[in-house]
Chain A
Amino acid sequence: MVETCSGFDLESFVDGECTAEDAAGIRRHLAECAVCSASVDELETLDRLLRETMTAEVAPRDLRQRVLAQVENCLAPPSRAPLSVGRRGFAFAAFGALAASAVVFTVGPRLLAWRESRHQIVSTLISDFETFLFAERVLDFTASEVAGAVDWYGSKLDFQLPAFPVEPGGNRLIGGRLCWLFGRRLASLSFEGTDGALALYVMSADGLALPENQAGLDVSVHRKGRFTNVVWRQGDLAIGLVGDGPSGRVEQVAQILLNSMG
């Protein structure tokens, strides 16, 4: 605590939170009390140090551009919104944005390290998702309800598709695909949100190498450029959620799915 004569709240005074009457009383006291006057000086110096140090940090320019574009889209009438759900697949506006980001994509040392990952589930799912988007492939089926997706997969899978929310984190289910990866069939469910696309890959974990879990940690998050892959094991199943856009958004959706599918 700040050293003061009793009855004077110097911190509120420095913060401009005193009533005018209290502030006037403190000013009169400060003129006579060297201890409180020094305490006020010290508080003001500390505050200035914090303010000057921390206000030097500014948002990166590309973040500003992304956020303002996001806000503009959000406030725009529906006809101006960049994402619209077609009969099948994702909106072409999203493909354009992804293609543009691919052009400027730079391979850095961390990405090279990532490519050396021995866990196929990490790299293969992102590659599949990226290819699906860039190649503008169509979905095998459209569905806006879980029951529709479960019906479509039916006996095509050798496992039971777990129940999942139809709109996790505001991202709507739009359909899915049947994929053949890692020598097994897997379900790839597609979701669409205002910030981009997501694919939920569900497969049998049998014989599949997953990133090792550490004590207390049951999920791993992998990033490659603008793509994020969250991988976890759920009972006998291996799950991968891949998405573009902010990785925090993908992680948030993974969190919702993990909790609801458990």
Chain B
Amino acid sequence: MNDFNDERGREFERVVAEQLDGLYRAALRLLGNASDAEDAVQECCARACNGLRKLKSDDAIKPWLFRILRNVCIDRLRWQSRVRLVSTDEADFAAGPDDCRAVNTPEQLCIGAALGRLVDEGMRGLPFEQRAVVIFVLVEGFTYAEAAEALQVPVGTVRSRLSRARAHLRQVISSRDKAVERAGTPRLSRLLG
């Protein structure tokens, strides 16, 4: 890093600190378990550190970081299709999202957990690339152009993937939501507002 601009280095450090939760969330949703997500984030940051000097001075760091993360996740999924994980010391992520949600009352706790399960189910049913678009645009606040850069696809592809993903998620959530209503409980989506 000797010949690297100090200011750019500090910016990189700041963006990593700022985006770490987002990187972890994205990895968690793309890979499906906390252990792999942690490894992927570390691997992503290691690759970013190694490639920082290749980054052009006007390249945005955030989409670049998420692009690396996506590639790390793809590499891991490809690798996992070849390997058998014999033992691991981490629980899967099913318990994670509900555990860390900030809720106050028993009713909110119940609703929060139910919403979490609906979102988990909907997200798991999406193909990898659609999941990535949902995470980048709807959760992490990327513009279409930033998401396109991170995913290395045209903006039109981001738009169409997002539309398909939303249609799937709406379908999953509304079908379960109607079942909840039939059981005499207020529909979850109405409780959100």
Question: Which A residues are within 8 Å of any B CB, using their own CB?
Answer: 1-2, 11-12, 15-17, 42-43, 45-60, 63-64, 66-68, 70-72, 74-78, 108, 110-111, 113-114, 117, 122, 170, 194-195, 211, 213-214, 216-225, 230, 245-249, 251-252, 255
**A16 CB contacts on chain B under 8 angstroms:** 143
Given contacts A248-B39, A251-B76, contact A70 B46 (CB under 8 A): yes
The residue that B42 contacts in the complex, of A42, A77, A217, A248, with Cβ under 8 A, is: A248
Inter-chain CA distance A43–B17, complex, in Å, is 31
Q: Are A72 and B76 in contact (CB under 8 A)?
A: no
Any A CB within 8 A of the CB of B41: yes
Q: Are B100 and A248 in contact (CB under 8 A)?
A: no
Any A CB within 8 A of the CB of B183: no
Given contacts A57-B25, A113-B87, A195-B46, contact A50 B138 (CB under 8 A): yes
**B34 CB contacts on chain A under 8 angstroms:** 60
How far apart are A48's CB and chain B's nearest CB, in angstroms? 6
**B50 CB contacts on chain A under 8 angstroms:** 74, 170, 194
Additional pairs, 16, CB under 8 Å, beyond known A54-B139, A248-B36, A248-B76: A2-B163, A17-B143, A47-B138, A53-B119, A58-B25, A59-B41, A74-B49, A77-B1, A77-B2, A117-B86, A194-B46, A221-B84, A222-B86, A246-B46, A251-B79, A251-B83
How far apart are B31's CB and chain A's nearest CB, in angstroms? 10
Given contacts A53-B115, A57-B97, A57-B100, contact A221 B144 (CB under 8 A): no
The residue that B16 contacts in the complex, of A55, A60, A67, A213, with Cβ under 8 A, is: A67
Q: Are B49 and A54 in contact (CB under 8 A)?
A: no
Inter-chain CA distance A76–B72, complex, in Å, is 24
Any A CB within 8 A of the CB of B184: no
Shortest Cβ distance from B98 into A: residue? A56
**A55 CB contacts on chain B under 8 angstroms:** 21, 25, 139
Given contacts A11-B163, A75-B13, A223-B89, contact A49 B1 (CB under 8 A): no
How far apart are B79's CB and chain A's nearest CB, in angstroms? 5
Count of residues in B whose CB is under 8 Å from the partner chain: 69
Shortest Cβ distance from A47 into B: residue? B138
The residue that B43 contacts in the complex, of A56, A216, A252, with Cβ under 8 A, is: A252
Q: Are A1 and B42 in contact (CB under 8 A)?
A: no
Given contacts A59-B24, A68-B17, contact A50 B139 (CB under 8 A): yes
**A78 CB contacts on chain B under 8 angstroms:** 2
Q: Are A110 and B87 in contact (CB under 8 A)?
A: yes
Shortest Cβ distance from B6 into A: residue? A75
Shortest Cβ distance from B87 into A: residue? A114
Inter-chain CA distance A74–B44, complex, in Å, is 13
Inter-chain CA distance A194–B42, complex, in Å, is 12
**B39 CB contacts on chain A under 8 angstroms:** 246-249
**A247 CB contacts on chain B under 8 angstroms:** 35, 39
Q: Are B23 and A59 in contact (CB under 8 A)?
A: yes
Q: Are A222 and B102 in contact (CB under 8 A)?
A: no
The residue that A252 contacts in the complex, of B75, B119, B143, with Cβ under 8 A, is: B75
Q: Are A67 and B83 in contact (CB under 8 A)?
A: no
How far apart are B98's CB and chain A's nearest CB, in angstroms? 9
Q: Are B25 and A221 in contact (CB under 8 A)?
A: no
21 A–B contact pairs at CB < 8 A? A11-B166, A17-B144, A42-B170, A47-B138, A50-B139, A53-B116, A54-B139, A57-B28, A57-B100, A59-B20, A63-B20, A63-B42, A66-B42, A68-B17, A74-B52, A77-B2, A248-B40, A249-B43, A249-B46, A252-B75, A252-B79
Shortest Cβ distance from B31 into A: residue? A248
The residue that A248 contacts in the complex, of B43, B134, B170, with Cβ under 8 A, is: B43
The residue that B101 contacts in the complex, of A46, A56, A70, with Cβ under 8 A, is: A56
How far apart are A203's CB and chain B's nearest CB, in angstroms? 19
**B52 CB contacts on chain A under 8 angstroms:** 74
Shortest Cβ distance from A249 into B: residue? B43
Shortest Cβ distance from A67 into B: residue? B45
